[in-house]
Amino acid sequence: MIEAVKRHLTEQILPFWKALKDEENGGFYGKVDYDLNVYRENEKGGILNSRILWFFSNSYLTLRDSDDIEYARHAYNQLVDKFIDKEYGGVYWSVTYDGTPLDTTKHTYCQAFAIYALSSFYDASKDEGALKLAYELYDLVESKCRDELGYLEAFKRNFEPESNEKLSENGVEAARTMNTLLHMYEAYTELYRVDGNPQVKERLLEMLDIIENKMYNPEVPRQEVFFDKEWNSIIDLHSYGHDIEAAWLIDRGLDVIGDEELTARISVITKALTECIYKKAYTEAGVWNEEECGVVDKRKIWWVQNESVVGFINGYQRDNSKKEYLEAARSIWEFCESFQIDKRSGSEWFGTLDADNNPLVEEDMAGPWKCPYHNGRMCFEVIRRNIDA
């Protein structure tokens, strides 16, 4: 599996995203439709640009191909030049194709991915400016995007609060979300890994406390997804992909923190999440999407499959008696090779397959959320962990 994944990374994912480099206006083109048409004048998303920066930085760290660091720098320059608000600070949600601010919302989730990407780029390039900018965003998030109970969600350009439609769905509007907290944790894990700042560690410990005592529901077991401002869950929703992703991301943070007692306590949660997804959502034909109010959505989402491969490998590494997890990772990868990875020349992964494993043709191949973060990261993790499922 390792060699197949590495080959897929170098022969399909990397070429697809390198081909979207915008030499004229900076950054990377913001949309490729199902028919592989590139929309050169489409808006460019802040999350997409940060994830591309993260992807090429980590491709360099994994493969040590000097070409990749130049693509990372191209994304970094676009972040600095076009996505950073020079007046109020923070990262815009989107800009036009030529870099004019378009959606000036400042979302905590978007700031998190910029911090995540800048931390990795600093590790890859040793560019002190990237680390400095990561801390500028960190300070801004800590001063503008949180209250005494944790992180908030959406803000206007000047950081006045606004409604959170961007990370709410399923008919609710959330004041706090599991998704934002998880990716804040992910971002701060990477920042702490590359710089070891004890203040960042304290924020990680605070987030773990929220995960343990507010977000995690041991009765299912699952993470609750959408919350009011007081951390009360507001919908009966089980996001299978987020739970298996959280299991390994939380474990990764625990490894970086390096506290054995804390790891032993929180690992009870991550092991339970992994086991629950294995029993409830895993099939030999991939992992289902989610369950809302008892109704299971059996579509196969590209990012859920990728996070499940990593999550089950991680579960096996934490407990070598769980050989079924290793088999699950292998079978998901084989399913993806057959159905989720697009075999057309110049393409990469289909975003969503229906219950019969047919791709949804209305979905884009690249866009504000469709990026090389999940599938690229799966490849990096499989290579780095060196566990041949």
Closest of 226, 235, 247, 250 to residue 304, by C-alpha? 247
Q: Where are the domains of the chain?
A: 2-385
pLDDT at 389 over 80: no
> Which pLDDT value is given to residue 95?
98
Quote the mean pLDDT of the chain: 97
**pLDDT tens-digit readout, 228-278:** 999 999 999 999 999 999 999 999 999 999 999 999 999 999 999 999 999
Out of 1.50.10.10, 3.90.1150.10, 2.60.120.620, 1.10.10.10, select the CATH number for domain 2-385. 1.50.10.10
Residue 168's pLDDT band (boundaries 50, 70, 90)?
Answer: confident
Whole-structure pTM over 0.95, yes or no?
A: yes
Residue 388's pLDDT band (boundaries 50, 70, 90)?
Answer: confident
Residue 165's pLDDT band (boundaries 50, 70, 90)?
Answer: confident
For the segment 115-130, the average pLDDT, to the nearest whole number, is: 98
